[in-house]
Structure 1
């Protein structure tokens, strides 16, 4: 498998023993790429598509990505911008974020059509999130979605986590419309039920899977905050009860779950085995601070 993740890698500040903070590198789609690289065998290539600046902190991010074994050939550099930054605040294991990303270079990751085409031509699976789309201009979103549609026609699988973050979008109507567009050209969709119920009005896990087109042949895995998960593949629905785990830090749990599912799915494992791998990895992640520990 050639796995291409698309999005924003940021500097992450996580509080240690006050007043000390640790600086790491994280970001939803990058977190998934990082875990895919750790889980997958040598026959799997993993690459990240983003845009960074030409400053020392951007160099630090690029170096971290490369040191993790993730290919950096599809990372563009913008001389006028730098990386985004976020800080994690924790309360009983639940996190909230403060962001500094308005001038992030990653907002320009889809500005070069030729670069998009080259990256997607390389990939066997392309993975993106709602955050990837939310940080782009409307024209860049259209450019990225069109490139993904062409790649899918050429045999590239598309995996998508809606990862709903309303504050990143112009308004709720645009958010729902663009997420719907991305889902329509995806093969695997990994929504989180609480967010979907809040912003799309889904009354049940089955409603969420149905809205995302499970009956049309898509694979939809509805995550549920460590509780019951619904796996919908075509007309088949599998409800799997999970035992909730008390978290230290939930940052990156969904990203890790996605990696566990996608690697296991690509290896041809059963849905139940894919879920066990995904849930096991997410459980490890929430037992420590930070998205990647």
Structure 2
């Protein structure tokens, strides 16, 4: 049993703080980038009810990112605003999976939006996030335990939303099923990066911040295999990390585009409160 840590205690333990801040940056940046990619669908969703529902989901997800950035602020990492908007691409810890443009190609080469990819990415991400929050609810860092409990209550509805879309499109046959298959393949090429906790994952687990990586992977695989079975699909096999590990600072050029857009207003006056 690991001793429960407060913010003040975490600051006084250099190794513990190092592992904790690394974890928080990953959690915050994942939610931040995925919420932004979702927000780009505003006014473009298949129908107006979906536009409203999707906007609400993205607002929740961005709110979760803010909570993580605020926890980093409490640890002396800087203001939440500067952490969200003032860091360059190489400093970001999000998985490449969350930063990819909404189109079926890269943002600059093919900006055509793909609803199948939106459904697949959000559904797979929220399943991962549910399991991650379950792990964080047993964390040795008390403020993270409290935050995870709040987030998980909202996440239940997100998962239900995307599950309906995923199963309906996969079971529909025809073009819908074909496009979902292509979207799943694209997502699977980078989902391994989402599962990574980077170079410090053993340190995180050793301090009781998260569960052992092998245990988490086993839970995730069990959950995902059921997802594919319910949709009448074959399991794609081992998760991949085609473009590298975002946790270690490797990113696609899509991230630069995303940050340019996200930070445009902040850059006008970084001292203002956004």
Same fold (TM over 0.5): no
Q: TM-score range by the shorter chain?
A: 0.3 to 0.5
- Tell me the TM-score normalized by structure 2: 0.32
- Tell me the TM-score normalized by structure 1: 0.31
> Higher strand proportion, which one?
1
> Higher helix proportion, which one?
2
